[in-house]
Amino acid sequence: MPASRTDLTKQAKKLRFWQTVISWVDRYLSWPLPPNPSLEITIPTKISKPIGSIKLYFFTAQNRPPTSTFSQTHDIDAPRRPVLINFHGGGFSIGHAIDDARWAHAVTTAHPDCIFVSVNYRLAPEHPFPIPIEDGVDAVLWLWDHADNYNLDRARFVLCGNSAGGNLCFTVPFRLHEELEARGRLDTKSEIKLAGSLAFYPAVDWTRSRSERDATNPIAAERSMIPPKVLTFFDESYLLQKNLPKKEDGSVDWAHPYLSPALAPASLFLAAFPPSVSIYTCGWDQLLVEGDALRDKICKFVDEGRMRHCGGLIIEEAIHGFDNRPTFCLGDEARDTMYADANEELGIMWTCEHDSDTENE
């Protein structure tokens, strides 16, 4: 029998405490130390029914002026800056936007002109499906509407995320497309077009149970550092039955694009999704097969000329979430390899869209 929402909330508080400890050790006791955000902004949420607020954390290169200067005086002659909108992991139930400070540092070091914005979306069980997705859409829309204030290049918005955040890299564009369609903002000059999406070990197929996922890659269960009971907590917290999409017979539609983006029909995928996608999977992860299958699907679209670019790779002998664990003075060669490749992919996404936008002027 599923746990009550009260019990899930109590469990969430305990897990969040320990996650905060792990994140603190990674950020303050593992070298090189990542920087703190340049700016924090609280924005209102408007799409989900429980109205609230979320924080956006801006990271910029250490040798660049802080983003806050652009909110004070907008220089129309200053070059517009590419944007990476990040969604953290944690099973939609734990974690924080600044957990990815090390990834933010890698990005802003490789691309000094970019702005890395990490979204602190609301968490389950207090805020279950589809609230994290809708918070992600709110973040994209807010950044789009305020792009001039922060010198953001609307033609170069890219999404990224790991694990649950990787799921949001795919579900947010679908929900964004629906929102824009409802507002009548599609097929107009104000249409919001994402330049790309970059996901690390995403969960993209909820038609498979946890045991079925383990069966697709048996070594994952042996190597995983996430106890099965924690995975159960994640699922029960986020997947509140009454909120989930239903089929005509009343059963849960686990293949719905907001749950299983890998199974979305080609027509929706091509209409809603950015033209460039990169997916990184881990060799010792129960999500390996579904992530690789989605990458293969996207690469086929590219081969057919229906999308622009497909990238990413498998990080062999790596467990789920390996790049967000404290390494102290040891470093992590696999993490550095993945981040370096991902930064090359970001360069492709931002360059392609910049060139395309210039040609259309």
Tokens of 142: 């807010």
Task: Say whether 139 sits in a helix, a strand or coil.
Answer: helix
Say yes or no to pLDDT of 150 above 80: yes
CATH number at residue 52: 3.40.50.1820
Supply the pLDDT for residue 54: 99
Residue 62: the pLDDT is: 77
CA dist 241 → 2, 89, 130, 236, 253 (Å): 10, 22, 11, 9, 11
Among candidate residues 208, 203, 45, 5, the one with its CA nearest the CA of residue 131 = 45
Is the pLDDT higher at 62 or at 208?
208
Query: Across the chain, what does the average pLDDT equal?
Result: 93
Sign of CA dihedral 246, 248, 250, 253: negative
Is residue 274 within 8 Å of residue 131, measured between CB atoms? no
Model pLDDT, residue 238: 99
Confidence of residue 145 (pLDDT cuts 50, 70, 90): very high
Tens of pLDDT, residues 153-182: 999 999 999 999 999 999 999 999 999 998
Q: How confident is the model at residue 230 (pLDDT cuts 50, 70, 90)?
A: very high
Q: How far is it, in rounded angstroms, from Cα 103 to Cα 106?
A: 5
DSSP-derived 3-state class of residue 245: coil
How many domains does the chain contain in total? 1
pLDDT digits (tens, 9 = 90+) for 3-27: 999 999 999 999 999 999 999 999 9
Question: Which pLDDT score, from 0 to 100, does residue 99 have?
Answer: 98
Q: Given this model, what pLDDT does residue 192 score?
A: 78
Tokens at residue 150, please? Answer: 């922060």
Task: Compute the distance between CA of residue 185 and CA of residue 135 in angstroms, rounded to an integer.
Answer: 19
First to last CA, the chain: 59
The pLDDT tens digits of the residues spanning 249-271 come to 999 999 999 999 999 999 999 99
Peptide bond into 130 cis (omega under 30): yes
Environment class of 210 (CB within 10 Å of its CB; exposed 0-12, middle 13-18, buried 19+): middle
- How far apart are the C-alpha atoms of 128 and 123, rounded to whole Å? 7
What is the band of 189 on the pLDDT scale with cuts at 50, 70, 90? very low
Of 73-77, 95-99, 105-109, which gets the smallest average pLDDT?
73-77
Q: Phi-psi region for residue 91, left (φ > 0), alpha (ψ -120 to 50) or beta?
A: left
pTM as predicted: 0.95
Task: Quick: pLDDT tens for 52-84.
Answer: 999 999 999 976 655 544 454 456 667 899 999
- What percent of the chain has pLDDT above 90? 87
**By percentage, how much of the chain surpasses pLDDT 70?**
91
Question: What is the rounded CA–CA span in Å between residue 61 and residue 113?
Answer: 7
Residue type at position 162: N
Q: Which structural domain range is residue 17 located in?
A: 5-72+79-360
193 pLDDT more than 90: no
- What's the mean pLDDT in 30-37? 92
280-336 confidence digits (pLDDT tens): 999 999 999 999 999 999 999 999 999 999 999 999 999 999 999 999 999 999 999
Structure confidence at residue 100 as a pLDDT band (50, 70, 90): very high
H or E element in which residue 309 lies: strand 309-311
Residue 92 has pLDDT above 50, yes or no: yes
